[in-house]
Amino acid sequence: MTDRILTASELTIDLGRIRQNYRILIDQLGGVPAAAMVKANGYGLGAATVAATLATDGCNTFFVAHLEEGIEVRKALGPDPVIQVLNGAMPGTESELVANGLQPVLNSIDQIELWRTCPGAKAQPATIHLDTGMSRLGLPPDESEHLLANPSLVDGVDVAHVMSHLASADVPGSPQSADQLERFRQLRIRFPRGTASLANSAAIFLGPSYHFDLARPGIALYGGNPTPGQPNPMLPVVRLEAPILQVRHVEAGDVVGYGATHVVEQPGRIATISVGYADGFLRSGSGTAKANVAGIEVPVAGRISMDLITLDVSAVPEQHLALGAPVELIGEHCLIDEVAERADSIANELLTDLGRRYQVRYTDQGA
C-alpha cells in the first residue's frame, strides 16, 4: 500500500523556494535591485502571502495590474513598500491610488494629464511607460515624441521611474529585444527623468545591458524557466497532487473519456483522479499530458474533463494505486514548463489558471 493518502487535491507552495529564486535573480543582476511581479494573485499562488514573503528577503517594490490588487497587497505589507499599478490611473481611481499610497504606471498622455491634475498626486510618485515596440500599453511613438518635445506635460508629476517592456526576451535568437533596448536607450537620453526599468524575467539573463536600475521579474520567481532552450536556473515552487478516486481494468477495444478519443490497445488499468479543467489543468493537454505515480510516468488517457482526469496506470504496481493514493501533476517529476508545453501553453497561464478547489498548503523548505 502507498504511504500517503489524500482526501482532496492538494496544491503545495514552497515559500522558501520563492525566496531562493529571488536571491538567484539578485545574484544574476549583480547589484541591480529587483521588484517582484505579484499581479494575478501572485501568479495564482497568493499575492499577499508571496509579497510578504519576499518583503522579508529585502524586496521593497511590487507590481500589480489592477487597483484592487494593489489595495490587497498594501494591506498585507503596510505603508512602506512601493506598489506600482501597471494599468495606471483610470478616471475615478485617482483618489484611491493616492489614499492607498499606490504608484500608477502612466501609459498615455491622457493618463499623465489625469494624474498631473489630481489633488494629492504631486506627493505620490509615478512611473512613465514608453512603448518601444510591443504595441500594447505605454506611450506609443507619436505620444513619446510629443512628450519629449513638451516636457512640461509632466510638470507636477514626481517621475520615479521610466519603463518599457520587452516583447520577445524569452524567444531565443529574436532580434526584437536588441532593437527595443536601443530604442529605450535613445528615449532615456532624451528623457532622463527618474530611474530606468526594462528587464523582465527572461531579460535578466540577456546580460547587464538590459538591467538598468530596476528589474521586474515575474514567472522566474515562481519556478518558470526564464532561459528557454537551456537548463532552468530557477527552483520549482509548486507541487500539485490529486488523489486516485478509482482504478479499473480495461480490455483492448474499450474507450475512455468524452468523445471516445482514447481506444485501449491492450488489457491494462485506468485510474481516475480528482482534478480537471475547472481546476486549471488545461483541457488542451488531453492526449499529451503526463502525470507521475510513485516515480513512474503515466500518460493521460482520453480527454481532460471538468473535474476528472483518466490515466493509463498499467505500468504502475497495484500497491501504489490505492484509493486516495497521490498522483503528481506538477512538481519535481512534472516540471511546470514541460506540463505547460504539453498543453500548448506557457507556465504563466498554467499557474494563473490554477483553481480554488485545492487544499492549499504553504511550506518553507527551500532547496
With respect to residue 157, please indicate whether it lies within any of the assigned structural domains.
Answer: yes
Q: Is the pLDDT of residue 2 over 70?
A: no
With respect to residue 2, please indicate whether it lies within any of the assigned structural domains.
Answer: no
Tens digits of residue pLDDT in 205-246 = 999 999 999 999 999 999 999 999 999 999 999 999 999 999
| Domain residue limits at 304 | 237-363
Residue 48 belongs to domain with CATH number = 3.20.20.10
192 and 248 inside one domain: no
**In the structure, what pLDDT confidence band is assigned to residue 367 with cuts at 50, 70 and 90?**
low
In this predicted structure, which of 116-125, 232-241, 251-260, 357-366 has the lowest mean pLDDT?
116-125
122 catalytic? Reply is: no
Q: Which of 22, 39, 43, 222 does the annotation list as catalytic?
A: 39
For the chain, the average pLDDT equals 96
CA distances from 324 to 107, 161, 269, 271 (A): 50, 52, 16, 11
Q: What is the pLDDT of residue 306?
A: 97
Q: What is the pLDDT of residue 1?
A: 44
Q: Is the pLDDT of residue 204 over 70?
A: yes
Report the b/e string of 284-298 with b at 16+ CB within 10 A. ebbeebbbbbbeeeb
166 and 301 inside one domain: no
39 catalytic? Reply is: yes
Residue 308 belongs to domain with CATH number = 2.40.37.10
**pTM score, two decimals?**
0.95
Q: Which of 122, 210, 258, 362 does the annotation list as catalytic?
A: 258
Judging by beta carbons within 10 Å of its beta carbon (0-12, 13-18, 19+), is residue 67 exposed, middle or buried? buried
